[in-house]
């Protein structure tokens, strides 16, 4: 048996519990999560993926606010000194403004989840919107090849069959329809 060829996806996340990477295999995604002592692997087959959701989060804006507030505090402290002792708070303020610029340049944050029939797992490797869009753009053809593509009409008819006619009110009042109380 030949070893699987994995391509790195533009997904790399760092958190309190370590770092995570997302890899594309021939028929699956591989999520690797590692801290200093252990490494965990999770495989998501393209045929089993029911949904990939990406939503924006406010974490990036919150960190920008924290970095800006700390920068401002150390600038105000540095302005209280007129001699060389002001270099220390100016240096600390420079660190915080650097963190602010880096976080701003990385772009908005997001949370990405993959849903299968048995679980919904957070993809910690996808934590920035730009990298999530690049990653989804790369794996979309593999998902379509494994699952097929639904036309918009077929998707609407399946949704109508799943939810039933009660989910969609009639467009024209039927003569024998019960009254609608609003």
DSSP assignment string, 133-172: HHHHHHHHHHHHHHH----HHHHHHHHHHHH-GGGS--SS
pLDDT of residue 1: 45
Judge residue 112's burial from the number of C-beta atoms within 10 Å of its C-beta, 0-12 exposed, 13-18 middle, 19 or more buried.
buried
pLDDT of residue 3: 65
Instruction: Going residue by residue through the chain, which has 182 residues, state the pLDDT in tens, using 9 for 90 and above.
Output: 456 688 888 878 777 778 899 999 989 999 998 988 899 999 999 999 999 999 999 999 999 999 999 999 999 999 998 888 889 999 999 999 999 999 999 999 999 999 999 999 999 888 899 999 999 999 999 998 998 888 888 877 877 788 776 666 555 556 666 666 65
40: part of which helix (H) or strand (E)?
strand 39-45
Domain borders along the chain are: 7-57+109-162, 59-106
Q: Are 47 and 146 in contact (CB under 8 A)?
A: yes
CA distance 42 to 176: 55
Q: Are 142 and 46 in contact (CB under 8 A)?
A: yes
Under CATH, what is the fold of the domain 7-57+109-162? PH-domain like (2.30.29)
175: part of which helix (H) or strand (E)?
none
Taking each helix axis from N to C end, the angle separating 87-106 and 59-78, rounded to the nearest 10 degrees, works out to 160
């Amino acid at each position: 048996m030949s070893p699987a060829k994995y391509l790195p996806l533009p997904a790399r996340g760092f958190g309190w519990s370590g770092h995570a990477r997302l890899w594309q295999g021939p028929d699956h995604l591989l999520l690797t999560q590692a801290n200093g002592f252990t490494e965990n692997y999770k495989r998501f087959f393209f045929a089993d993926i029911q949904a990939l959701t990406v939503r924006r989060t406010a974490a990036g804006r919150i960190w920008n606010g924290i970095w800006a507030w700390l920068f401002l505090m150390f600038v105000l402290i540095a302005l209280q000194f007129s001699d060389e002792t002001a270099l220390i708070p100016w240096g600390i303020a420079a660190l915080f403004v650097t963190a602010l610029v880096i976080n701003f340049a990385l772009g908005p944050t997001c949370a990405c989840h993959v849903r299968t029939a048995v679980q919904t797992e957070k993809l910690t490797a996808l934590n920035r919107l730009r990298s999530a869009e690049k990653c989804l753009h790369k794996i979309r053809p593999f998902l379509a090849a494994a699952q097929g593509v639904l036309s918009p009409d077929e998707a609407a008819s399946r949704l109508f069959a799943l939810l039933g006619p009660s989910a969609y009110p009639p467009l024209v009042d039927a003569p024998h329809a019960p009254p609608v109380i609003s």
